[in-house]
Amino acid sequence: MASKFILLALLALSFSRTLASDPGQLQDFCVADRTSQVFVNGFACKDPKTAVVEDFFFSGLHMTGNTSNKQGSAVTAVNVAQIAGLNTLGISLARIDFAPYGQNPPHIHPRASEILTVLEGSLYVGFVTSNPENRLFSKVLNKGDVFVFPQGLIHFQFNTGDKEAIAIAALSSKNPGVITIANAVFGSKSSISNDILAKAFHVDKRIVDHIQAQF
Ligand SMILES: *[C@@H]1O[C@H](CO)[C@@H](O)[C@H](O)[C@H]1NC(C)=O
């Protein structure tokens, strides 16, 4: 009986490991070797003896992103692509700038939960839960407020003000990934058939063609 319980506990533990965002590191650091010909889940480590302080450093989050685009927002990501030393550490950062009434459109981070704080302005933010509830959790955030977007859920941020807004987001992966819903569904290369999208969105095919033409 006791051994059965231990077996179950071990199984539960091994499952929680499998579900964790990035694998736990087995050494102090594993600075990404982006030139490695070895393909692993993440990046191979460069020789730790050759690691330098710049492998753990990035400068630039003081800079305002260019929000002159259709969405009126700009994401400056600081993940393993910018800081090689983030490899295997399971964290990263982003600065998001918003033009007045600009938005970070509905998107997913397939590999990370996100915790966001507002530095300037006010943001209407939200996320939607999985099927079948598809419940929206939304709120207006002001300077200093903090909000959490659970891993893998569709979420967005919208600047409700007539001034620029700035947010900083921390993410639970060195490489969170982004899937912008509109781009992935209507702007895929090649296109998803308009028969499929018309049926999925309960609209006429011409409406799908019109949306696809925007991408
Ligand atoms: C911002 O982006 C727009 C559109 O791509 C471009 O025309 C403009 O030169 C950019 N501004 C700066 C300051 O880089």
Whether 24 shows a pLDDT value over 80: the answer reads no
pLDDT of amino acid 1: 47
Residues with C-beta less than 6 Å from any ligand 1 atom: 66, 68
**22-36, 56-70, 106-120, 167-181: which has the minimum mean pLDDT?**
22-36
Average pLDDT over residues 108-115: 98
Q: pLDDT tens digits for 190-204?
A: 999 999 999 999 999
- Confirm whether residue 183 is marked as ligand binding: no
Nearest-CA residue for atom 3 of ligand 1: 68
Q: In the beta sheet, which residues pair with residue 127?
A: 137, 155
Nearest-CA residue for atom 7 of ligand 1: 68
Check if the beta carbon of residue 172 is closer than 8 Å to that of residue 90: yes
> Among candidates 186, 179, 119, 184, which has minimal Cα distance to 155?
179
Residue of 149 and 9 predicted with greater confidence = 149
pLDDT of amino acid 26: 86
Task: Please choose from 63, 66, 164 the residue to mutate so as to test ligand 1's pocket, defined by most ligand atoms within 8 A of CB.
Answer: 66
Question: What is the average pLDDT value for the chain, to the nearest integer?
Answer: 92
Q: pLDDT tens digits for 59-80?
A: 999 999 999 999 999 999 999 9
Q: pLDDT tens digits for 130-144?
A: 999 999 999 999 999
Rounded Cα distance between 66 and 141, Å, is 22
Whether 122 shows a pLDDT value over 90: the answer reads yes
Average pLDDT over residues 44-52: 96
> Which strands sit side by side in the sheet containing 73-78, from one edge to the other?
73-78, 92-98, 165-171, 114-120, 146-149
Residue of 91 and 15 predicted with greater confidence = 91
> Among candidates 124, 119, 120, 152, which has minimal Cα distance to 137?
124
Chain-centre distance for alpha carbon 108: 6
Confidence of residue 47 (pLDDT cuts 50, 70, 90): very high
Nearest-CA residue for atom 11 of ligand 1: 66
Average pLDDT over residues 34-40: 89
